[in-house]
Amino acid sequence: GVMERLGLGPEVLLQENPRLIYARLTGFGQSGKYAKSAGHDINYLALSGVLSKLGRKNENPYAPGNLLADFAGGGVLCAMGIVIALFERARSGRGQVIDASMVKGVAYLSSFLWKSQNLGLWSQPRGENLLDSGAPFYETYRTSDGKFMAVGALEPKFYNQLIKGLGLNLDELPAQMSSSDWPEMKKKFASIFAQKTQAEWCSIFDSTDACVTPVLSFDDVASHQHNKERSSFFKNDQGEIIPRPAPVLSRSPAVPSCKRDPFIGEHTEEILLEYGFTKQEIAKLHSDKAIEFKNPKANL
């Protein structure tokens, strides 16, 4: 209702411009019991049902940062909605309103979880399934130098490579999919991974299809050979390491800016002057605390 109170709701603006695409990105959506309630990523994730699936056995559910609901279910799906609306407008000539709810967005994003329940992938309690740390061959393990390796050896041919790299004999182990043996197998794998450094395990697994990779820290990720060859990260003019935009388009790839992010209010006066506001009007807006100024030179 914020935009409506300003007289800038979609009904008003679409009358002015029927081709307008009006995206409304909210946590709970434009209707429903919680529509006007405050919330954050963890709340949207909880209401979607997805949070109940995240976490280890016998532990509380945990939210993975604020990536899933805020950015994936919210920002990315909202952006996709805008692209879809633009595509549709090319045929109809008409705009429309996009109700991008983070709850519905992350629920839709999790469609795989819903559709694979009957396949046995998510039929067990949290933390006991194939992809949620239940299986010993889809897990992370600590190395002797306090780092970690990620193991995703799902298919038998990859699992065989994992077992070989660990120095074990496949014939002497329980069947890969014998879930009753998974807890003991996890202990066995953990004790073996703890005997070598991350670099040593990389030297063993990098040339194989065991689906075993290092868990790279933010400090290490840009210097890893694969990421260097792909130019996946770059430094801005402040020396900060930043991920390069993705996906990469063949004809019109994104050109990232090497400049630092602007401070809140850094360009407020500049932009308002450009739009015809007088310095007196801008000063009044600032004194009324309607706008904010930020002079970066004051921090030097």
- By annotation, the residues acting in catalysis are 40, 70
CA distance 28 to 48: 10
Residue 167 tokens read as 């120095």
Bridging pattern class, strands 138-142 and 233-235: unpaired
Return the HEC string of 118-158.
Answer: HHCCCCCCCCCCCCCCCCCCEEEEECCCCCEEEEECCCHHH
Tell me how long the chain is.
300
Phi, psi of 99 (to 5 degrees): -95, 95
Q: How many angstroms from the chain centroid is the CA of residue 184?
A: 32
- Ramachandran bin of 297, using left for φ above 0, alpha for ψ from -120 to 50, beta for the remaining angles: alpha
Place of tokens 């940062």: 65
Contact 56, 133 (CB under 8 A): yes
CA distances from 155 to 77, 152, 204, 207, 300 (A): 31, 9, 19, 17, 56
Place of tokens 């990315």: 76
